[in-house]
Chains A and B, each alone.
Chain A
Amino acid sequence: MNRLIKNALVFTVTAVLLTGIVGCGSGKENLGNSSTVQSETTSVATTTAKSKVSLVFATNWGEGDSKYTYFDPKFKEFQKANADTMDIVLETNSTEDFKTKIKIQTASGDLPSAFTYWGGAMMNNMVDAGLLLDVDEYFNASSTVKRDNFEPTSFSYYTAADGKTYGVPLESTRGIFLVNTEIFKKYNLQVPKTYDELKNVSKILNQNGIIPIAMASNGGTPAEFFFSELYNQYSGAAEEIKNFTASRKFNTSNAVKVAANIQDMISNNMFPKDTVANGGWGPCLQLYTDQKAAMTYTYPWMFESIPEEIQKISDIVPIPKLPDADIDPANIMSGFTVYGCVIKKAAFTDTVTHDAMVKLCDFLASDDLSTNLTKSGMIPAKKITVDMNGQKLIYQKMMSYAEGKNLIQVHFSTIPSQSALSMLDTSLDELFINALTPQAFVDKVQAALDKK
């Protein structure tokens, strides 16, 4: 009796496992082609009938996000206006979940028709697999949106090694160094321009229980951008960052110099002591908005979190010049494309969904949507004039500061691989807690770049 059961079960296990492997293996091969198979059958079925096309748009601009209130109503308008020709589903998830979901969907062959995504190293895998559309095809097909409606420099983030552009840039950004003028006034301090001035200011601030600069690193944020901002004070830096994707060289003398300066800043107590707990965009900025820190370095997507009173008393100034730097920081400013939309090639080339896709992309790339999104503090990649009157005070200050500045790139945009970016992030965490020497830090990132 017992033996019978045992044998039956062993037999079933082997049978099940074998069918599983075989079934899934063959199933997967079909899955890769399933989209084309499906579209062929649907196009046969719907040549004459005017039936609704099904599209999916995914983004991380969901309920908890600062762009939600400016994106969602416009999207719903678009849905309504096109309700008779297309059924478009909006899938939103918070950033980390969103990335996981897209990766799973790529693995199972279920990418959304279009979705917001990052360029650079993050889109490389999808580009290599031929999943994304060359956006020039879209620009050619569109009657309302053309390539030269965008700032020309904004395309580099989405341009792959083959020279083609695989994403429509939507969001540009600028890095700003803020100082709390009230705190400076209170302690009779001048805003520091040189490193020595910064050291003196820091000493006095620390004596009075104020953190000089709210800068920390948890998962590399916000330190990775701070690093690049400092990096660009050295000659040759701009070229190095621009060629980073091809050169794969992080181990430059400039990188070691910046890391050494950061260490010096740590030993001069310029940052909060607990850089892990105070790391991340939110906690770091919070130290500044709570007036526990006199200075900070941040980006426009955080503007929603800066209260009005703080916006009023904040000034945007150049970062102090490092002692061994060559370039005057007063003329430069981090400025780069940071976000946009990518289009699923199969969805665009499919004759059934083609027209609907063009309409969808026209909406996503429209002046109207971009203008609305600027109200969240977004700088548009499109050439549109932003009405300053409707903008936050801090946004106005930023745009007036940005005039005439040389815009510089950051490592985040041009780093050639995801694993190198993640190594840069965790190594910055280590650098900020003094767990690595400057050379060791640079070597670690270089090692990740040298793999494969």
Chain B
Amino acid sequence: MKSYSGRLLKYEMEAALKYLLLGLVAVIALYPFLWVVISSLKDNNEIFGNSFGLPHIVRWGNFMEAWSGAKVESSFFNSIIVCLVTVAFLAVITSMGSYVLTRVTKSRILSTYFLLGLMIPIHALLIPSVLIFKVLHLQDSLFSLVIVYTAVNISFSMFIMNGFLQKIPKEIDEAATIDGCGTCRLFFYILLPMAKPGIATIATLAFLNSWNDLLLSLVLISTPAKRTLSLAISVLKGSYMTRYGLLCAGFVISIAPVVLMYLVFQKQVIAGMTAGAIKS
């Protein structure tokens, strides 16, 4: 009797502690986001004078100015198209390549080759990329962004996909092949759905990297109408003095769709993942 109620109390305390810790971390994680949102409603005097309080004068105008200043209608559209195409393209070619690397040739050389990309700082790509796209006659083109965003995300995507594909037991391959599945069918209809968590992870991260990218779009895109959202918002920084309230409003406009996509995407994937786990 005693030990049972004792153990029950222990579980409850553990649970309480766990939620306390998670809650604390959540507050710390949420705070900067809230800070950006609150700051977007202030002018510079309040950002410096009243950095961490609620705005005394709420400046909704910041959002309107940021919206028109960053030409959100066109830049948002550009960003969405570029990022979605990048993610789709990346997911397909990376998982195909990862399949070969994990199940066909476990080549250390190839794995290391693909890993090199992780080690290259992005600034090193600026001048060479401009030159390469010039040779290809793809200057000032959103398509060049798709290609280069895909390229820079390949390394970690391969890496993560390898991890997820390795987890899927080989017996499935064999079983399917015995049943008469060709390579393509095996890959697309059986393995890929089982690797959904992997795809979800790389899609989320690659989308994020591409959405927030500033430098590559700065050097590869010149026509203002072709600008991506993060680049358009960066124009809001002044020469000597930045209106941080305005800039924060721009950030909120930029973050909102990403958070939304994350929420929507993660929900669908979690459902897929738990189903997959039970099956095996």
Contact = CB atoms under 8 A, between A and B. Distances in A.
Interface of A: 1-2, 5-6, 9, 13, 20, 23-24, 27-28, 31, 56, 60-67, 89-97, 100-101, 104, 107-108, 110, 281-283, 285-286, 289-290, 301-302, 304-305, 307
A286 B134 contact: no
A307 B240 CA distance: 17
A97 B130 CA distance: 16
Given A5-B105, A101-B219, A307-B45, A108 B234 contact: no
Given A24-B135, A91-B224, A92-B224, A64 B246 contact: yes
Nearest to A62: B235
Q: Is the interface of B mostly helix, strand, loop or mixed?
A: helix
Nearest to B133: A108
Contact of B105 (A6, A56, A61, A305): A6
B70 A63 contact: yes
Q: Is the interface of A mostly helix, strand, loop or mixed?
A: helix
Interface string B115-150: 000000000001110111011000100000000000
Contact of B236 (A63, A101, A302): A63
B16 to A, nearest CB: 39
B242 interface: yes
B241 interface: yes
A170 B135 CA distance: 37
A72 to B, nearest CB: 11
A5 B237 contact: no
B44 interface: yes
Interface in B214-266: 214-215, 218-219, 222-224, 234-243, 246-247
Nearest to A303: B241
A281 B135 CA distance: 42
Interface in B76-105: 100, 104-105
Contacts of B44: 282, 286, 305
B209 to A, nearest CB: 19
Contact of B45 (A67, A290, A304): A290
Given A2-B104, A5-B105, A91-B222, A61 B131 contact: no
Scoring A9, A63, A286 by chain B CB atoms within 10 A of each residue's CB, the highest score goes to A63
Contact of B234 (A9, A31, A61, A94): A94
Interface string B137-166: 001000000000000000000000000000
